[in-house]
Amino acid sequence: MMMKANFDGHVHTAASDGLFPAEEVLRRASAAGIRCLAITDHDRTNPDCLAQSRQSGVTVVSGAEITARAHLPGLQPFTVHLCAYFIDPLDGPLNRLLAANRSGGGQVYLRAVLEKLDDLGIPISLKEVLAGGQGHVSRKNIARIMVRKGYVGSVQDAFRIYLGGSRPGDQKLAYVDRSAYFSFASMEDVVRHVTAAHGLVSLAHPLLYGLDDAGLRRLTAAFARCAGRAGCLECHSPACSPRQRLALTRLAEAFDLLPTAGSDYHGEPEDRFLPGPPAIYGDLLRRAADLYGALGEYGGAL
């Protein structure tokens, strides 16, 4: 019989823009009572997941958070994040897609953000930003410096006021569209590569794309069309109210997507792990086994 395990499906380490290396993240997760989580670093797989599971006693699902471009009729293309689960971390085509997503004008992009901040009276040098980044330098690194220098109270505020946004119309004061500097894969292409690497794929933090209800429904429909039975929807995240979680769960049901939960933990002082409803992990595991065959290393830990 399949037991229930709480599962946080969206966690970052210093391999991308999290503050702590995986060992420390897992130590903290275990102390918070998390039994199972997916390390979903930006545009990279986690080939150490099995060793990390053995060492920490927390089941670490092989994951990645993949940047993709959504092209919906009538809307300008915009960036979405897709969390992949149970993928083969060494899959060649998937890793090539991720490498292509990572390559591009990273520093030129950062410089463009810093110029906008400078115009707003927030001087931060590229050198400072690069010094704070380990695996992957992103807006998070800039946000942390803004907190340290007292321009904002938290990383969350830095995004809410200055750095956040995705779609035109929803962009904050110092937002710069990364698609001018990187060429991210399309949503369809990401889904194709994840499923070819035997993964499930979840549309992450669906409320962060600045879409109204109709837009969110269209995005979900387009995602569900390409993801099929491998598709999931992140219905539980810390910023969602209980009412929003319920609405997202209904949306997932309407499009036959499995609900997932994820904290988007980066190790900031305000970040908390999110166990999510206990049925989620078993449902994901069953679906992955249905699609791709038994997943021994994960099932054994339940």
Nearer to Zn ion, 12 or 35 (CB): 12
Q: How far is the CB of 20 from Zn ion (least distance, A)?
A: 15
Q: Which stretch binds Zn ion (CB under 5 A): 147-155, 222-230, 236-244, 258-266?
A: 258-266
Single-letter residue type at 84 = A
> Using only C-alpha atoms, what is the Rg of the chain?
18
**x/- contact string, 47-66, with Zn ion (CB under 5 A)?**
------------------x-
Are 112 and 165 in contact by the 8 Å Cβ rule? The answer is: no
Reference 299, options 26, 9, 1; nearest CA is: 1
Q: How far is the CB of 247 from Zn ion (least distance, A)?
A: 21
Q: How far is the CB of 294 from Zn ion (least distance, A)?
A: 29
Residue 43 sits in the site that holds Zn ion (CB under 5 A): no
Nearer to Zn ion, 8 or 264 (CB): 264
Q: Which stretch binds Zn ion (CB under 5 A): 56-64, 137-145, 239-247, 263-271?
A: 263-271
Parallel/antiparallel/unpaired status of strands 59-70 and 231-236: unpaired
- The site for Zn ion, by CB under 5 A, has a size of 2
Q: Where are the alpha helices (DSSP H) in 7-161?
A: 22-31, 49-56, 92-102, 106-119, 126-132, 139-148, 155-157
Among 43, 91, 234, 264, binds Zn ion (CB under 5 A): 264
HSE-up of residue 25 (Cα within 13 Å, Cβ side): 33
Nearer to Zn ion, 58 or 82 (CB): 82
Specify which residues 8 forms β-bridges with: 37
Q: How far is the CB of 179 from Zn ion (least distance, A)?
A: 18
Q: How many CB atoms lie within 10 A of CB 143?
A: 24
Nearer to Zn ion, 91 or 234 (CB): 234
Specify which residues 61 forms β-bridges with: 38
Instruction: Map residue 200 onto helix, strand or coil.
Output: strand
DSSP symbol at 159: I
By CB under 5 A, what part of segment 64-93 binds Zn ion? 65
Burial class (CB in 10 A: 0-12, 13-18, 19+), 218: middle
Nearer to Zn ion, 41 or 177 (CB): 41
Burial class (CB in 10 A: 0-12, 13-18, 19+), 215: middle
Nearer to Zn ion, 8 or 65 (CB): 65
Nearer to Zn ion, 65 or 271 (CB): 65
Q: Which stretch binds Zn ion (CB under 5 A): 155-163, 192-200, 241-249, 264-272?
A: 264-272
Reference 229, options 286, 299, 282; nearest CA is: 286
- Taking CB atoms, the residue at the shortest distance from Zn ion is 264
Site of interaction with Zn ion (CB under 5 A):
65, 264
